[in-house]
Amino acid sequence: MSTTVIWICGLILTVAACGTVYRIWRGPTLLDRVLASDVLVSIIVAVLCVNMVAKDSYELITLILLISMVGFIGSVTVALYANNAPSREKRLEPSRIQEVNRNDPQAAQRLAEAKRVAKARKRKKIKEGK
């Protein structure tokens, strides 16, 4: 592999790593930071792969597989944790319904029902707040 291609790959991976570290540092939510750390693990694996290609050796393949497995297990663990965490987004709100097809009468009925339920919840909250 030519040195020019290796330098270009290195530059692209460096820029990607800088953006990812920025997202880890500034990410507004925990899930943003976790996702960015998962991307950083992928970038590290890519750097090791480019290094292997540049040196024409297979010495780092075990390390690459180990890092990839740890990153995957970490991502799955965080995804399960985030799925089980109580969230107000689990409520059905009309703004959350993305899959409604306006030409489908059943979907339109479901949307109308969801809007009615959301209004009732809002009225109930207002009454409880007074």
CB burial of 98-111 (b: ≥16 within 10 Å; e: otherwise) equals: eeeeeeeeeeeeeb
Low pLDDT (below 50) residues in the chain = 89, 92, 94-97
The per-residue pLDDT for 92 is 47
The per-residue pLDDT for 44 is 97
Evaluate if pTM is beyond 0.85: no
Would you say 1 and 53 are in contact if contact means Cβ atoms under 8 Å apart? yes
